[in-house]
Amino acid sequence: MDKVSIAIATYNGAKALREQLDSLYNQTVQPDEIFVSDDCSNDGTVEILEEYHRTKGLKYTVNEHNLGFNKNFENALKNTTGEFIMICDQDDIWMPEKVEVLLKAIKKHDCTKPVLVTSTTKDYMDGKVIRDNTRPRMSWLQMLYGNNTQGCCTILNRVLLNKALPIDVPKGSLYDGYLGMIAGMTGEWENIGTPLMYYRHHANNVIANNDKRTDQYPNIFAADRFLLMDAIEAKYGKDFIPERRKVFEKVKKLGLKKSKLSRITATIGLVEVPFITRMKCIVKICLQ
């Protein structure tokens, strides 16, 4: 069976929620289930969910108390029943072929293993596309060297979800990077590089372009990246694919380098990473 579930986390999303839900119900391949976890909204979001429950069969629950971003998504995910699960934000717009394209992509993988396939977006603001994020196809290595797993662009299999629950991310880290790293280190991860949704930019985005680098990790990566690596290694290290562990350890060591020269030298030494990627990171280090 190829049952597809869509997991949505909502919180005071009434303004854009109808447009998002309509885009889900207008897919070329219809999802078998849409499940929403609402985090105590007080703006009419729950009334919209109840309307779509009555008219479309949408399933939803309202949390007894506010769980926060990561745990609200976890609650949505763990209530799905499909073999394949897609993750959805409350305020974007999916292109009509998104379910069809990602379902075909993930089925090319060995789904006896944890598998995650992700895509990209067209950035959207005030009714206009402001950036097309088409990229070359990426493998597990780009997952390790940079997150490149955006939850709302993602499809994963039940094997990965069962392995990942409960989602215990370090403070400051996000559930999508957690899922992506488990798949990349213990199974299969791919970014197909194709925009399949309009990612709405507005003042209330939970994820913004904030810089989380700290004195502890004065690097090209955000500090939370290394904290996430520590957490994943502690919980899933025994399942790491051996050849990937070697690269994992190199990247972790890179996070501890203090001087620019040592960071540049370590980056040059990551020969597994494409040359152009390393050069871009060296430029970033030089500009710090």
What pLDDT, in 10s, does the model give residues 209-241? 444 433 333 344 566 778 899 999 999 999 999
State the Cα–Cα distance between residues 103 and 265, nearest whole angstrom. Answer: 41
Q: Residues in the chain, how many?
A: 288
DSSP type of residue 169: P
* Strand positions, DSSP E, 55-187: 59-62, 84-88, 93-94, 115-125, 128-132, 154-157
pLDDT in tens, the chain (288 residues): 699 999 999 999 999 999 999 999 999 999 999 999 999 999 999 999 999 999 999 999 999 999 999 999 999 999 999 999 999 999 999 999 999 999 999 999 999 999 999 999 999 888 889 999 999 898 888 888 776 899 999 999 999 999 999 999 998 889 999 999 999 999 999 999 999 999 998 555 555 444 443 333 334 456 677 889 999 999 999 999 999 999 999 888 887 787 889 888 988 888 887 788 788 778 878 887
Strands 84-88 and 154-157: antiparallel
- Per-residue 3-state assignment (H helix, E strand, C coil) for 111-140: CCCCEEEEEEEEEEECCEEEEECCCCCECH
pLDDT digits (tens, 9 = 90+) for 26-74: 999 999 999 999 999 999 999 999 999 999 999 999 999 999 999 999 9
- For 26, residues 6+ apart whose C-beta sits below 8 A from its C-beta are 96
Residue-wise over 113-125: b if at least 16 C-beta within 10 A, else e?
ebbbbbbbbbbbe
